[in-house]
């Protein structure tokens, strides 16, 4: 569910004893901490006009009710991008009693930048020093006590994906929240010239007795004004007494720019990075002659073009084979068990007792819809989500992004775009939302268009349930090859057509990590649970509705409307057009409808090739191809509109329809010819 951020955060504070904000960059394990603490019972909150979301949940500790605000993963706080703005605004509006900052121990200097920003804002802070075990295996270590003294806040070592240290972390966060003591960092001080300007502005704010709606320390306000933060300049401009201070801030910014040849914001950012480096040098130790660990060696192999490309091809092949064979095995097992122990006995009992009337046929249709969900969607989706969780948990997706950076530039993107594109194979909706990590609208349009051509788990279920299940793995590979060619051609064309240039790759890289079984199972279950709870009700209700439409003849009449294009050009039976329209709700509904149509037309439901009595393998191939290409589901359409605007979303939708009809018909004509 989605809620207004202000009302949700206000409600959270009113219903809990303490609220704790959870912050960190996207690759630091923050999501593992959040999942472990809350069990993923979350509400999603959006700021008006913003697509980046906050996750809000509650947990219990020693009888206390604790609210958790999961901020967007970001590398800094500011108003530069949506994720940074929402992360900072989530803290300001939420006014948490404490902030838990999850820090990657293997890249401490990079992570301390945002820690310094939180210290400047003055919130009670606890550091979760994550993956310290990985760092120690690499022959490095951190003096935790010294780091705590320099930052003036508690530091708790954690291994988030195994749940280690999380009990101590939440306990320490509650202690900090209860005390209400603001941090007093020992090592947070910039160069003399910058500190002099900060002090001048701080003294002016204090002398005028000024404040802001968020109750920030005077030093924090001075830094925001020196950085020319548009949010706070606009805020304070509308408040009485701030005009002289704003003029002083303008003059100081001009002075810093003249002295250093760069803006005050750039100068302060450089001071933060330098300070983070100094603190890291003081607390981090290295063992001499330490050989690289297996994670670092594997990272090097997977990011080198010489070895990385063969490894990538091997991983893709392995994933395909696992999905094909394991998915089919699960589908056969579920289908046999469902038919033998539920569907057939119930069908026989109903017909014997009440005959074939509208009520019994409706129940039979509902069972057929439920069977379609169990045997078509669930086995392949479950296996895919598990494979995706393994790739994420090991960090391999980051290596893929680095490896493919030069290739992605040919499509007008950089390597970081590969992460939401790969995620699109699970679900296009979060993948589309993930394009916000790209800096320009041009990149987001290209990535969004390419993502909708990536077969999601629902479309993969149709491909495997129709083509792989009936025609075999060779036909399935051929279908994916066609989609890949279309994807490449479209990406190259968009890069040529759309004006603008590609930005460089900026992302944090880290060594491989050993996947944790519990984390993989949790990720798989959370995603799979959402899929099941959404799909099965749709299939049950849809099956009954389709049964009624079929019995009244409306469905077959509607199918004739699509006959000219479907039969004449694509070689498909007219009913396939109805299936394609219905599938806009969920792509699995397309195959479920065809299976249901085959059943009601008298095809034996226990015959493995029941769809072959209704459609040939060639027709199933064309049908699955068109399903994979044309207009995405309504949820993806909504995500496109939210990220790119309705105009661009409608253009992408129209283009995919034209492309699907053209390619589907062309493939059909080639199959007929050869």
Name the residue range of residue 359's domain: 305-499+522-673
In a domain, residue 41? The reply is yes
Other C-beta atoms closer than 10 Å to the C-beta of 228 total 14
Same domain as 165, residue 233:
no
Q: What is the pLDDT of residues 117-140, one digit of tens each?
A: 999 888 899 999 988 877 887 778
The model's pLDDT over 18-58, given as tens digits with 9 standing for 90+, comes to 888 888 877 666 777 777 777 654 554 544 444 467 778 88
- Residue 261 DSSP class: S
Residues 154 and 208 placed together within one structural domain of the fold: no
The answer to whether position 380 is within a domain reads yes
Residue 251 resides in a domain? yes
Asked if residue 541 and residue 436 are part of one domain, the reply reads: yes
Residue 371: both structure tokens together: 């069977």
Q: Quick check: is 287 in a domain? A: no
- Pick from 358-372, 508-522, 633-647, 656-670: least confident: 358-372
- Residue 508 within any structural domain of the chain: no
CA distance 227 to 270: 12
Does residue 294 belong to any structural domain of this protein? no
Same domain, 317 and 407: yes
Instruction: Based on the fold, state whether residues 418 and 484 are members of the same structural domain.
Output: yes
Tell me the H-state helices in 498-608.
517-552, 554-561, 563-565, 575-582, 588-600
**Residue whose pair of structure tokens reads 């291994």 in the numeric block:** 159
416 & 530 share domain: yes
- pLDDT at site 342: 79
Say if residue 143 is in the same domain as residue 72.
yes
Residues 97 and 218 in one domain: no
Could you tell me which residue, 609 or 542, shows the higher pLDDT? Answer: 542
Confidence of residue 536 (pLDDT cuts 50, 70, 90): low
Q: Is the pLDDT of residue 303 over 50?
A: yes
Task: Tell me which of 179, 212, 229 is where a domain ends.
Answer: 179
Is the model's pLDDT at 235 over the cut of 70?
yes
Q: Which range scores top for mean pLDDT: 394-408, 495-509, 640-654?
A: 640-654
Residues 104 and 172 in one domain: yes
Pick 465 or 627 by higher pLDDT. Answer: 627
Q: Is residue 293 part of a domain?
A: no
pLDDT the model gives residue 386: 84
Contact (Cβ atoms closer than 8 angstroms) between residue 308 and residue 299? no
Is residue 175 domain-shared with residue 196, that is, in the same domain? no
Q: How far is it, in rounded angstroms, from Cα 58 to Cα 166? A: 15
Average per-residue pLDDT in the chain?
A: 80
CATH code assigned at 8: 3.40.50.300
Say yes or no to pLDDT of 656 above 50: yes
Indicate if 154 and 250 belong to the same structural domain. Answer: no
pLDDT confidence of residue 333: 83
Residues contacting residue 392 through CB under 8 Å, at least 6 positions apart: 523
| pTM for the predicted model, two decimal places | 0.65
Taking the C-alpha atoms of residue 464 and residue 587, their distance in angstroms, rounded to an integer, is: 13
- Could you say which DSSP state residue 465 is in? I
Residue at which a domain ends, from 123, 145, 179: 179
**Structural domain contains residue 511:** no
Nearest Cα to Cα of residue 135 among 28, 33, 34: 28
Q: What is the pLDDT of residue 291?
A: 65
Where among 243, 260, 277 does a domain terminate?
260
Do the beta carbons of residue 188 and residue 119 sit within 8 Å?
yes
Torsion of CA 412, 415, 417, 418, to 10 degrees: 120
Give the residue ranges of DSSP H helices in 152-229.
166-179, 192-207, 218-226
Q: SS3 for 44-106, per residue?
A: EEECCCCCCEEEEEEEEECCEEEEEEECCCCCCCCCCCHHHHHHHHHHHHHCCCEEEEEEEHH
Confidence band (pLDDT; 50, 70, 90) for 368? low
* Mean pLDDT for the stretch of residues 243-249: 93
Burial degree of 170 (CB within 10 A; 0-12, 13-18, 19+) = buried
DSSP state for residue 161 in the 8-state scheme: G
311 and 421, same domain (yes or no): yes
371's torsion region: left (phi>0), alpha (psi -120 to 50) or beta?
Answer: alpha
Domain count along the chain: 3
């Amino acid at each position: 569910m989605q809620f207004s951020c202000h009302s949700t955060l206000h409600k959270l504070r009113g219903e809990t004893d303490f609220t704790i904000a959870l912050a960190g960059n996207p690759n630091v394990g923050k999501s593992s901490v959040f999942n472990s603490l809350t069990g993923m019972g979350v509400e999603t909150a959006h700021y008006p006009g913003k697509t980046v979301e906050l996750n809000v949940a509650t947990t219990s500790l020693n009888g206390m009710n604790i609210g958790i605000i999961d901020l967007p993963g970001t590398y800094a706080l500011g108003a530069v991008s949506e994720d940074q703005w929402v992360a900072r605004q989530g803290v300001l509006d939420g006014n948490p009693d404490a902030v838990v900052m999850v820090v990657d121990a293997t890249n401490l200097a990079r992570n301390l930048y945002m820690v310094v920003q939180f210290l400047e804002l003055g919130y009670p802070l606890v550091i979760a020093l994550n993956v310290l075990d990985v760092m120690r295996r690499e022959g490095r270590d951190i003096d935790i006590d010294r780091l705590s003294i320099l930052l003036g806040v508690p530091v708790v070592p954690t291994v988030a994906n195994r749940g280690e240290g999380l009990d101590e972390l939440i306990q320490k966060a509650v202690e900090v929240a209860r005390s209400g003591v603001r941090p007093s960092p020992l090592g947070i001080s910039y160069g003399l010239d910058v500190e002099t300007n900060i002090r001048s502005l701080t003294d002016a704010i204090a002398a005028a007795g000024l404040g802001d709606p968020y109750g920030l320390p005077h030093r924090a306000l001075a830094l925001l004004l020196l950085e020319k933060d548009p949010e706070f300049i606009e805020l304070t401009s509308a408040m009485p007494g701030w005009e002289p201070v704003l003029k002083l801030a303008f003059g100081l910014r001009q002075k810093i720019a003249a002295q250093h040849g760069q803006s005050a914001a750039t100068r302060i950012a450089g001071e933060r990075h330098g300070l983070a480096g100094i603190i890291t040098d003081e607390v981090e130790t290295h063992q001499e002659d330490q050989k690289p660990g297996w994670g670092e060696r594997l990272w090097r192999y997977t990011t080198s073009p010489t070895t990385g490309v063969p490894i990538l091809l091997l991983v893709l092949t392995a994933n395909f084979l696992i999905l094909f064979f394991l998915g089919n095995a699960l589908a056969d097992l579920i289908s046999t068990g469902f038919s033998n122990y539920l569907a057939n006995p119930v069908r026989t009992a109903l017909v014997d007792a009440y005959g074939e009337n509208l009520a019994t046929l409706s129940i039979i249709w509902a069972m057929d819809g439920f069977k379609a969900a169990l045997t078509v969607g669930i086995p392949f989706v479950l296996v895919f989500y598990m494979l995706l969780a393994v790739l994420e948990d090991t960090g391999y997706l980051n290596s893929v992004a680095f490896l493919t950076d030069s290739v992605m530039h040919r499509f007008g993107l950089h390597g970081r775009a590969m992460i939401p594109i790969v995620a699109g194979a699970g679900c296009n909706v979060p993948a589309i939302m993930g394009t916000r990590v790209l800096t320009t609208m041009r990149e987001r349009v290209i990535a969004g268009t390419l993502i909708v051509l990536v077969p999601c788990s629902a479309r993969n279920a149709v491909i495997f349930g129709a083509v792989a299940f009936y025609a075999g793995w060779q036909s399935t590979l051929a279908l994916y090859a066609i989609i890949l060619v279309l994807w490449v051609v479209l990406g190259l064309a968009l890069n040529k057509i759309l004006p603008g240039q590609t930005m460089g790759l900026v992302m944090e890289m880290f060594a491989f990590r050993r996947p944790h079984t519990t984390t993989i199972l949790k990720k798989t279950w959370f995603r799979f649970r959402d899929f099941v709870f959404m799909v099965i009700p749709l299939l049950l209700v849809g099956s009954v509705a389709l049964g009624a439409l079929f019995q009244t003849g409306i469905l077959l009449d509607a199918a004739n409307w699509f006959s000219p294009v479907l039969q004449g050009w694509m070689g498909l039976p007219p009913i396939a057009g109805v299936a394609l329209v219905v599938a806009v709700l969920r792509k699995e509904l397309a195959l479920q409808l065809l299976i249901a149509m085959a059943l009601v037309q008298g095809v034996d439901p226990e015959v493995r090739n029941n769809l072959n009595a209704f459609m040939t393998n060639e027709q199933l191939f064309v049908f699955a191809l068109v399903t994979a290409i044309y207009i995405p589901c309504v949820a993806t359409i909504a995500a496109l509109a939210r990220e790119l605007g309705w105009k661009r979303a409608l253009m992408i939708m129209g283009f995919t329809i034209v492309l699907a009809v053209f390619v589907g018909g062309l493939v059909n004509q080639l199959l007929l010819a050869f």
